Amino acid sequence: MNRGFRTLGLHAGQDPDPATGARAPPLYQTTSYVFDDADHAADLYALEADGDVYSRISNPTTRILERRLAALESGVDAVATASGMGALDALTTVLASVGDNVVLSEDMYGGTASYFSKTAVRRGIESRTVETLDVDAYEDAIDEDTAFVHVETVANPSLKTPDFEAIAEVAHENRVPLVVDNTFATPALCRPIEHGADIVWESTTKWLHGSGTTVGGVVVDGGTFPWDAADYDELSGENPAFGVDFVERFGERAFAEAVRQRAVRSTGSCQSPFDAWQTLQGVETLALRMRAHCENARQVAEFLRDRDGVAWVTYPGFEDHETHDLASEYLQGGYAGMVTFGLDGADDEAAYGAAKTVCESVDLVSFLANIGDAKTLLIHPASTTHAQLSMDEQRAAGVAPDMLRLSVGIEDADDIIADLDQAIEHALRQQADGGPEEP
C-alpha cells in the first residue's frame, strides 16, 4: 500500500515492539548482540546472513531511522552516519579512490568544497568544479575516471536549484551515478531519486531532526544504478575485504550495504542509537515544520526586499531568482527555509563590516553555525563557514563578502522580522557613523 508522506514519517520502518507492545521506537542502547550459535556468528561475519553484530555496524534503533529515511526519500535502503560530513566521506570512500575524479557543481556548502579540495585530494581524488546550471559543462568534465557527479538540491548558500533530470541524463550516459545533497530541501519538499539521482545524502542535524540537539547524517541508496555494468571494484566482482560480490549478494541494496560494511564499519562513523532515537522524534513532525519554515521564509524575504538599506535578497520563491522556474519544478510545497541578503555599503569592506554588525546585534535570532533549527539562525559565511576558501573560491560558490545567511525558524514571523529590523538599523547607523575598522 502506498502511504502518504506524513504517514511514512510516523510509521515507516517500525511496527510495535514484539516483545513489549511499545508503540514508540525503542532505544536499543547496546554495543553487541548474542549469536544463536557458532554457524550464525560465522554467517553474519561472512555477510551471508542479515542481523546485528556490533553497533558500530548496525543497531535496531538506527535501522528504524534508516528504513524510515529511505522510505521518505523513495530509496531502497539507507545508512545513518555520525554527521552529514560523515555521510559524504562514507559514500566517497566507496565510490572513489586514487586516480579518480569527481565532478562538482560550484555552488556548494563550504564544508563540502573544503572536503574535496583539502581532504579527498590527499587520497588522490581530483575534484572538477563546473558552473551549476551549465549542463554541457558536466558533460565536458566527465571522463573514464569520473567516480560520480555531485550537486545540491538547494545550494548552500546561493540557493540555486540545478536541473536534476538533465544532469542525471548526462551522468548516466557516461555510466556515472548522480549524488545529491538534499539537506536544504529535505524529502518533505524534494525527492531527488524521483528525478534521476542515484544516491542522496543529508545532514540529519538540520531540518530532519530540527531542534539543534543532535548531530547526524544519512546516505540513501536509490537502488537504480547498474553497478555491475560500471567500474566500481567495491560493488561488483569479488570485494577485496569480504570476498563476496555486493551486487550479487544484496541486489538493489548493494551500494547501501557497501557503505555500511566498507566505510562506516571501518571508519567508525556510525550514528549512535541515542542520536538515531532522537532524530526519529524530529522526523515525525518534519512535514509540519517544513510548511512553517517555508511560510516564514517567504514573509521574511518579502520584508527584507522592501527594507531600506538592504541591497539585495536571494530567495528561490521570488520570480526574479535565477532558478525560480527550476525550484518551482522540483520543490513541492514551498521554497525551503533559507534566505540570504546583504546591506548597502560604500564598498566590499564596508558591507562586510555591516554584515558582521548585524550578526552581533540580533537578539531573538541566534548568531551561530547551524541551519535547519526550529529557531531562526544567522551567520556571515565569508568569515565563518566558507573562510577556508579563497576569495575567488568563495565567489564561485556564491558567497559575497556582505552575504548574510538566514535559516528561518518557526517562531512568529512578526517577531523574527522585528529583530532583524532593529539589527539592520543598528548596522546601518554604525556604518553611517564610520563603523569599526576592519583588519
Give the tens place of pLDDT for each residue, 307-342: 999 999 999 999 999 999 999 999 999 999 999 999
- Asked whether residue 13 is domain-assigned, the answer is no
- Asked whether residue 107 is domain-assigned, the answer is yes
Domain shared by 73 and 174, yes or no: yes
Domain shared by 314 and 235, yes or no: no
Residue 378 pairs with which residues in a beta bridge? 367, 406
Among residues 227, 248, 283, the one where a domain terminates is 283
- Asked whether residue 24 is domain-assigned, the answer is no
Compute the C-alpha angle 254/163/220, nearest 5°: 25
- Asked whether residue 62 is domain-assigned, the answer is yes
Domain shared by 257 and 339, yes or no: no
Provide the residue type at 174 as one letter. N
Domain shared by 88 and 221, yes or no: yes
Domain shared by 229 and 313, yes or no: no
- Asked whether residue 147 is domain-assigned, the answer is yes
The answer to whether residues 145 and 100 touch, using CB atoms and an 8 Å cutoff, is: yes
Backbone dihedral angles phi then psi of residue 118, each to the nearest 5 degrees = -115, -30
Backbone dihedral angles phi then psi of residue 316, each to the nearest 5 degrees = -60, -20
Among residues 218, 249, 283, the one where a domain terminates is 283
Kindly report, residue by residue over 172-204, the tens digit of the pLDDT: 999 999 999 999 999 999 999 999 999 999 999
pLDDT on residue 439: 37
Domain shared by 112 and 232, yes or no: yes
Q: Which three cell numbers stand for residue 232?
A: 566500481
Domain shared by 239 and 302, yes or no: no
Q: Which three cell numbers stand for residue 401?
A: 563578502
Residues of the chain where predicted confidence (pLDDT) is lower than 70: 346, 435-439
Domain shared by 276 and 291, yes or no: no
pLDDT on residue 414: 99
- Asked whether residue 23 is domain-assigned, the answer is no
CATH of the domain at 210: 3.40.640.10
Among residues 283, 313, 337, the one where a domain terminates is 283
Domain shared by 409 and 274, yes or no: no
pLDDT on residue 7: 96
Domain extent, residue 343, equals 287-432
Domain shared by 196 and 258, yes or no: yes
If one counts the domains in the chain, the total is 2
Kindly report, residue by residue over 219-261, the tens digit of the pLDDT: 999 999 999 888 898 998 889 888 899 999 999 999 999 999 9
Domain shared by 153 and 268, yes or no: yes
- Asked whether residue 298 is domain-assigned, the answer is yes
Q: How far apart, in Å, do the first and last CA atoms of the chain sit? A: 62
CATH of the domain at 374: 3.90.1150.10
Domain shared by 96 and 209, yes or no: yes
Residue 180 pairs with which residues in a beta bridge? 151, 200
pLDDT on residue 85: 98
pLDDT on residue 438: 47
The answer to whether residues 173 and 155 touch, using CB atoms and an 8 Å cutoff, is: no
pLDDT on residue 404: 96
- Asked whether residue 16 is domain-assigned, the answer is no
